[in-house]
Structure 1
């Protein structure tokens, strides 16, 4: 088997970073939900794809796809807070949250298929064919936008949690909710806000998915495995963890496809996850 050229390997690394950025952006909200709210929120993927399809629909009606980055987060913030209110109202346990949100994802998939059918959809934008060339390496504009947004969101969440007045009570409530409530922290309001934030992050990831990938309702579940691996590798409730783990997995997947074969790429994330769980079982 001949080794690929240096240019091809470099391009693979760049492409892997771009792919890892969307992994990290999707994993950020899931990590916060799992680590701080103690909810395994599979509806996160359904919300992301709902946002992607709404971005596609807005573009079809003449609205610039990047403008969706201003429209989607507030709308999905409300949706996420509403879902959290229902979960809290019925005292859904962490395990049951997995089942409930899985059912919600199935409903969202059916709605997307009902409205847009099962056919593949591609968002046509002026940015799609824009590329920056440095030497023999290409940097597509949509992927560069996704990487920039992923870094910005991870940094913003880190700053809010570590440097703001609201971050301390969120971390305190996640660590020991009864004690936090005893000290006057409104744990229910914080949970609603955090759930809204997670849904807003899902909507931003959905816009980035629409900019970069072909859409089909059935693709919702193709992201679940690798993003779960990203969340576990990056650590629960850690803003930078999913982005770093996502980029690492993306690069290794891309190099695997370049050196070996594309069929080997899906094995990468789960192999890394198994190694981490076997060597450092308490890390997550």
Structure 2
């Protein structure tokens, strides 16, 4: 195998890892700070992808305008779902079961509206790429990676360099003690839940632009991104991005050098190896 082909594969995997990290970010923050395992995050991302496809193909709405429509609606949906969790005092394990049910409902809705057929959102810039020596860098995937890096860095800075972020982390570590210092954990949790759902909408827009859509893909992405969340560490947006890149590059190199059928095994093989090794961030 030539070095150029290997480098092109690794680059493609790195850019795909940005989408993995973008998807994992909301799950990581929700699980780490709210103690809620929101599996519906993946279905929301694909719902956002299908909405982007629908707006673009039927109404000629550009993807950036679709994002401006989708993100606020998803934010409100995240707040509403969190209100249900708060009202019924849903536990961490129960949240996983409830949101799995929501995932099934959203997948059924997608199949009912768009059918189970594969769909592709074709755009004039779908094939656009930059050339760096012998390597071609696809513009859409590069934009998705840049957006993921920007959001991950912003989220990390907010969590570690602002009073609001420190309040969120304090409430997650010791709720009663944080409340004793005047931190309203409940009010903060609504905002965070909304932002996590909005991030799913952002991921959905880029999934629509870079991938072929099918409702059955939701389950396929859940396993890989769930592994990214565990490897990257809970409530660690930069860790989610780094883990996404690790998984993406590993999958791409495996497909290029070994066999494409082995690629699905990569994420869980890395996860199992790290769980056995137990590095400090896990």
Same fold (TM over 0.5): yes
Structure-1 separation of matches of 2:246 and 2:65 = 30
Question: Which residue of the partner structure matches residue 47 of structure 2?
Answer: 50
- Of 201, 204, 213, 1:203 maps to 201
Gaps of 5+ in 1: none
Do residues 122 (structure 1) and 106 (structure 2) align? no
Structure-2 separation of matches of 1:71 and 1:135 = 39
Structure-2 separation of matches of 1:215 and 1:254 = 20
Question: Which residue of the partner structure matches residue 38 of structure 1?
Answer: 35
Question: Which residue of the partner structure matches residue 245 of structure 1?
Answer: 243
Structure-2 separation of matches of 1:219 and 1:99 = 20
User: How many matched pairs?
Assistant: 281
Map 1:127-276 → 2, pairs under 5 A: 127-276=125-274
Map 1:10-159 → 2, pairs under 5 A: 10-60=7-57, 61-159=59-157
Q: Secondary structure at the match of 2:200?
A: helix
Q: Secondary structure at the match of 1:123?
A: coil
In the TM superposition, residue 281 of structure 1 has moved relative to its aligned partner by 7.3
Do residues 7 (structure 1) and 4 (structure 2) align? yes
Q: Secondary structure at the match of 1:19?
A: helix
CA contact (8 A) 1:65 1:125 kept: no
Gaps of 5+ in 2: none
Structure-1 separation of matches of 2:208 and 2:5 = 26
Q: Secondary structure at the match of 1:132?
A: strand
1:56-113 Cα deviation digits (max 9, x unpaired): 1110211001222322221111110110000110111100101000000000000011
Structure-1 separation of matches of 2:51 and 2:197 = 14
Comparing 106-115 and 136-145, the one that deviates more? 136-145
Instruction: Return the TM-score normalized by structure 2.
Output: 0.97
In the TM superposition, residue 151 of structure 1 has moved relative to its aligned partner by 0.4
Q: CA RMSD in A?
A: 1.1
Instruction: Return the TM-score normalized by structure 1.
Output: 0.96
Q: Secondary structure at the match of 2:37?
A: coil
In the TM superposition, residue 240 of structure 1 has moved relative to its aligned partner by 0.2
